[in-house]
Amino acid sequence: MGKNIKGKEIGKGLLQLPDGKYCARFVNKFGKRQEKRFKNLPEARNWLLDAKYNDAHEEVFAPTNTTVDEFFEYWITNIVGDLAPNTIRNYAERYKTNIQPIIGHMMIANVKPMHCKKVIITMENAGYAGSTVRQAYITMGAMFKAAKMNDLIVKHPMDGVRFSKPLRAADDIRFLTREEQKIFLEASILTHNYYAYALILETGLRTGELIGLTWDVIDWNNRTLTVNKTLEYRHNQKVWRAGPPKTKQSYRTLPLTEKAYAILEDLWNQREYRKESPLLETTLEYMDRRTGMKSQFSMRDLVFINWRTGEPTKNSSYDTHLYKLCDKAGISRISMHALRHTYATRAIEAEMQPKVLQKLLGHASINVTMDRYVHVTNDSLTQAIKQFEVGNQF
């Protein structure tokens, strides 16, 4: 039996140390000694009971002195390094801004649901958007899942943790109606960005996929376009960064419409006359997440180059130009991503099968396609009622 510093027995596996702290220890079923120190006896006794119970019920107990900060740095560098750059950046931003101030200093084994819930509540009280709160929620969930899989914790501290702040409603997501799309294209046709806007409306490309488009992925004979990389400007580092598509499902080959083919053909014929910056001599490297191999491309092979700078057009520059264009055309402002929303909406209105649209958009889940990108317009509602009337006549 263990004793305290006064010689009083306090229980098997428990011992008070000369500095006044209490040590709890036992030998697990693998013959390995497990030990931990506590400030008081009740904490030591509770830990010992929980540890023995988990060991007896085949839960591998692996006490650790690793802090949440330490594990996050290892996790973000070594475990999720193959994810899209935007995803990793979102994880890091949410951790450093919202998660770290509350639980970063804690031992990861001591984090409980109430601590994770505090992160969520603090963000809600600070007025964060529901989508941003969800990013923090996903970050904690993924990080602690990895910790549990690697036996750093016994239980997932996010179990039972929910947040009530609603995400942005689907009908708040901006897209162009048929009439607005017509007005928009007429207003943009004389601008230097017309081909970029029109190609997204014909293919549903993400902005990074459009910016990273190179001539080698255009198959003129089969009239297809293959998505295999992305490109974005990192404003903090002031560099262009190439990367893989968002998910493995984002690698896809798209059949080109007649209009999409004509757009690319016009750009190909104009390439000798475009302004080219010395930056285009740069060769960028990116990871192919399907093979794990690194690939390269020359920026000179990019399809879209800014007419004024001779460099790729930054994501933010496209949006800025779109705002001005919409104001001039007299329609509500949209972003580049709204053009992708519009493509998906037109596809559903044309009765494209959702599963086919999922493949064309490069989504891993059909739910994402239906919930986030497909909208029922007033025109389609009116048409549906007319069809109902025709079929419901007696």
Max avg pLDDT among 31-35, 247-251, 259-263: 259-263
Rounded mean pLDDT of the chain? 86
Predicted pLDDT at 159: 87
**Residue 98 burial (10 A CB sphere; 0-12, 13-18, 19+):** buried
Predicted pLDDT at 61: 46
Using pLDDT thresholds of 50, 70 and 90, give the confidence band for residue 277: very high
More confident residue, 29 or 6: 6
User: How far does Cα 4 stand from its chain's mean position?
Assistant: 53
- CB of 318 closer than 8 Å to CB of 207: yes
Helix (H, G, I), strand (E, B) or coil at 296: strand
Structure tokens at 181: 């799309």
Report whether pLDDT(218) > 70: yes
Question: pLDDT digits over 61-110, tens only?
Answer: 445 678 999 999 999 988 886 676 778 888 999 999 999 999 999 999 89
Predicted pLDDT at 169: 47
Report whether pLDDT(158) > 50: yes
Report whether pLDDT(341) > 70: yes
Torsions phi, psi for 242 (to 5 deg): -90, 155
**Residue 87 burial (10 A CB sphere; 0-12, 13-18, 19+):** middle
Predicted pLDDT at 120: 92
Report whether pLDDT(29) > 80: no
Domains and CATH numbers, the chain: 2-54 (3.30.160.60), 68-168 (1.10.150.130), 172-380 (1.10.443.10)
Report whether pLDDT(391) > 70: no
More confident residue, 51 or 169: 51
Query: Which strand (E) or helix (H) includes residue 42?
Result: helix 41-56
Tell me how far apart the alpha carbons of residues 353 and 256 are, in angstroms, rounded to a whole number.
Answer: 18
User: How far does Cα 297 stand from its chain's mean position?
Assistant: 24
Tell me how far apart the alpha carbons of residues 217 and 225 are, in angstroms, rounded to a whole number.
Answer: 6
